[in-house]
A and B are shown apart, each in its own frame.
Chain A
Amino acid sequence: EIVLTQSPDILSLSPGQSATLSCRASQSVTSTYLNWYQHKPGQAPRLLIYGASNRATGIPDSFSGSGSGTDFTLTISRLEPADFAVYYCQQYGNSPTFGQGTKVVIK
């Protein structure tokens, strides 16, 4: 099973700042199988980025993904109030696994 480790656990930032979230895999991941999700309390998790760098339908261009191999990054430029949430990376090797999440909180 591929283990995904996200860092940091909590990111404290102000609206308008940029956020950089990291996802590191225990072994190499096919980048087309690396996704990012946003989750707010009481809501359905939302697909943000698929295939490491492709924005899902309706996702603003303030969200971008990059990376390959074992290191992947989600960048949120110009944080909006609606962007404060928990973010998860997820991969599909022979079985899907998720990271433990990074919580982006208002400073």
Chain B
Amino acid sequence: QVQLQESGPGLVKPSHTLSLTCTVSGGSFNSGGYYWTWIRQRPGRGPEWIGYIYNNGSTYYNPSLQSRVAITIDTTANHFSLKLSSVTAADTAVYFCARWVLVVPAAISWFDPWGQGTLVTVSS
């Protein structure tokens, strides 16, 4: 059974870069067919999709964040990572990683499983 776990600093200073890693255990990371995704939830709001990376390294980001986001993958180490630059207090959120099943020809798509999330606070 695949499990995801986020890790990284819980406090980041304004204008600095937020860096998180998601470690995937339990198989399927190298098997292809999945999009490895970051999602965040700011206080009082619903979740917000940040972006994904595929096993071949291709990425796609939320247009509202794409100028500041980079997602990378290390298939040998079974993890993928998020960098969000020039952060402000508005980037304070719980950050989740998730596996995204997306099969466009079959018109199916869902996020499963998710990590339990990690709170990142942007403050000096």
Nearest Cβ on chain B to A103's Cβ, whole angstroms: 12
Give how many A-B residue pairs fall within 8 Å (CB-CB): 62
Chain B residues with CB under 8 A of A47: 110-113
Nearest Cβ on chain A to B4's Cβ, whole angstroms: 8
Q: Judging by beta carbons under 8 Å apart, are A98 and B107 in contact?
A: no
Q: Judging by beta carbons under 8 Å apart, are A44 and B46 in contact?
A: no
Task: Give complex CA distance A4, B98 in Å.
Answer: 20
Q: At the interface, is chain B mostly helix, strand, loop or mixed?
A: strand
B33 within 8 A of A: no
Determine the residue in chain B with the shortest Cβ distance to A89.
B46
A66 within 8 A of B: no
Nearest Cβ on chain B to A22's Cβ, whole angstroms: 14
Known: A42-B116, A88-B47. 9 other contacts (CB 8 A): A32-B106, A32-B109, A35-B110, A44-B4, A44-B116, A44-B117, A47-B111, A95-B62, A100-B46
